[in-house]
Amino acid sequence: MKYALIIPDGCADEPQPALDGRSPLAAANVPHMDEVARHGVLGLADHVPASMPSGSDVGTMSLFGYDPLQFHTGRAPIEAAAQGIALGPDDWAIRCNLVNVSDGRMASFTAGQIPSDIGRQLIEVMQHACCGDEHWKFYAGVSYRNLLLYRTRDGRAPFSSDTYTVPPHDITDQPIDQHLPMGSGACDLRALMERSEKLFAEAEPNRARTARAELPATQIWLWGQGRAPALEPFLDRFGVRGAVITAVDLLRGMGRLVGFDVIEVPGATGYTDTDYAAKGRYAIDALKKYDFVVVHVEATDEASHEGDAHEKIKALERIDADIVGPVHRYLQTVGDYRILVCPDHPTFVRTRTHSHGFVPFTMCGTGLKHNAGADYSEAAAAATGDIIPAGHNLMRRFMSR
């Protein structure tokens, strides 16, 4: 049996007045996803428990078949795994965004999709300024997505379960003063954020961006802290070898934590300009070697964060045409197979942020019976009555023989 999971990140949404009362998914032309729904199973799954913040760290862990209430420790440790950074039992990883704050408001949680080379230079500025402290170490990632590590030397760290931080993408256009870190270790995080403001104001890469009328990074934003999780290998849990295709560190990290190989695709950007067709081609090649391949696409989530319903529709249509269609056609030639399409969480265009709630899933293939799904949309999925309240059970159902 060959298995494929395609994750259109954050594609679930609500009806849009500008789309005649349809969601972006319902408005999109996605014949290949519709085909999966019409020939297989369509329903709703909830991947983010109400007690946890909504995000891909929680949602993807659930999609991979692991209960986030049991296994989730934080977002940043997952991204540390993506970079091959080993955490000691008492070490903490913290997500470090490069952001633009203007007039006290979160103007851009990506600092205008800052290029990776400039982001790396700014992270080096922070590392140089903090290199005298044996605990802190910054690691450059992709674009605005970076990491900060707190290395514990005496078995004690300033953070605990009451340390509270807010994802910057949840407060776009909002004042930041009510969303700064709180709880244990908050003073340390705030001090580093404040220090970055002064350093970035003088940093040459930012001066150059401003001169080119491009958005500079005005500071770092620290959030998503946690210690290393312990996850049972996917092979032991489900009996298949897997690989993941993605352009973002979070999914790379989740893959590595469960024992997947990570396949890098040239042209994959983690944004709406990603090379969808290349992801489809690499997925087909990977299925010749692996039992299970995960293809993650961030573009739908990014379009939601920008409040752009039409860009979200375009991304959905590219995922359908360049990934779902080719992968499904290939699987139909290899014998027994199953394909699953499911986002990790809703991301509303209206609010431009992640949300809690059910998302539509559809899957078809060997041994899966049709349950009267009409097309792949939120409304059609709800109409089937096939509901999975604890989303981590979806993977067990997908893999069951």
DSSP string, 14-65: --BGGGTTB-HHHHS--HHHHHHHHHSEEEEE--S-TTS--SHHHHHHHHTT
Task: Tell me which residue of 395, 390, 294, 300 sits closest to 354, measured CA to CA.
Answer: 300
Task: Using DSSP, state whether 4 is helix, strand or coil.
Answer: strand
Phi and psi angles of residue 209, each rounded to the nearest 5 degrees, phi first: -65, -40
Six-digit token string for 150: 């707190």
Q: Are 259 and 233 in contact (CB under 8 A)?
A: yes
Residue 189 CA to residue 85 CA, distance in Å, equals: 21
| Residue 96 CA: distances (Å) to CA of 77, 134, 165, 253 | 12, 18, 11, 16
Q: Are 245 and 294 in contact (CB under 8 A)?
A: yes
Residue 395's CB is within 10 A of a number of other CB atoms, namely: 23
Residue indicated by tokens 């407060």: 171
What residue spans of 221-370 are helical by DSSP H?
234-238, 249-257, 276-287, 299-305, 309-319, 325-331
Task: Using DSSP, state whether 252 is helix, strand or coil.
Answer: helix
User: Hey, what amino acid is at 45?
Assistant: A
Residue indicated by tokens 């997908």: 398
What residue spans of 172-298 are helical by DSSP H?
186-202, 204-211, 234-238, 249-257, 276-287
What is the DSSP annotation of 96-162?
EEEEEEETTEEEETTTTT--HHHHHHHHHHHHHHHTT-SSEEEEEEETTEEEEEE--SSS--S--TT
Q: Is the pTM of this model over 0.75?
A: yes
Q: What pLDDT is attached to residue 285? A: 98
Q: What pLDDT is attached to residue 132? A: 64
Q: What pLDDT is attached to residue 160? A: 93
Question: In order of start, what are the domains of the chain with their CATH numbers?
Answer: 2-72+231-399 (3.40.720.10), 92-226 (3.30.70)
Q: Mean pLDDT in runs of 10 for the chain (401 residues)?
A: 98 96 98 97 97 93 97 93 90 97 96 94 93 83 92 86 93 95 96 96 94 96 94 96 94 95 95 96 98 98 95 98 98 97 97 95 96 92 97 97 80
